[in-house]
Amino acid sequence: MVRRMCDRGKFPGAYQTDGGHWNIPKNVLITTEEQERKAEQLFQQIDTKNKEAGDVNEFAL
């Protein structure tokens, strides 16, 4: 979906590299750096809890 949005010019200043990847300028993203730090902390907490729980088959719950 993000690639299609880039193709359609939804992210001003976004450009495609020679390898085909999209680079999107930070200033067009909705989140702030503080929000990004908080999100990263939450993801780390989730990862830690997942490692503690071990392998879980969500279909067997």
Strand 15-16 versus strand 22-23 pairing type? antiparallel
Tokens of 15: 């450009």
**Residue 59 lies inside a defined structural domain of this protein:** no
pTM: predicted TM-score of the whole model, two decimal places: 0.47
**Residue 29 lies inside a defined structural domain of this protein:** yes
What's the pLDDT score for residue 61?
A: 65
Domain interval for residue 15: 2-54
**Residue 60 lies inside a defined structural domain of this protein:** no
What's the pLDDT score for residue 12?
A: 94
**Residue 38 lies inside a defined structural domain of this protein:** yes
**Residue 30 lies inside a defined structural domain of this protein:** yes
CA distances from 26 to 14, 49, 50 (A): 10, 30, 30
**Residue 26 lies inside a defined structural domain of this protein:** yes
Contact 28, 12 (CB under 8 A): yes
**Residue 15 lies inside a defined structural domain of this protein:** yes
What's the pLDDT score for residue 29?
A: 82
Burial class (CB in 10 A: 0-12, 13-18, 19+), 14: middle
Low-confidence ranges of the chain (pLDDT < 50): none
**Residue 61 lies inside a defined structural domain of this protein:** no
What's the pLDDT score for residue 44?
A: 94
Distance CA 51, CA 57 (A): 14
The number of domains in the chain is: 1
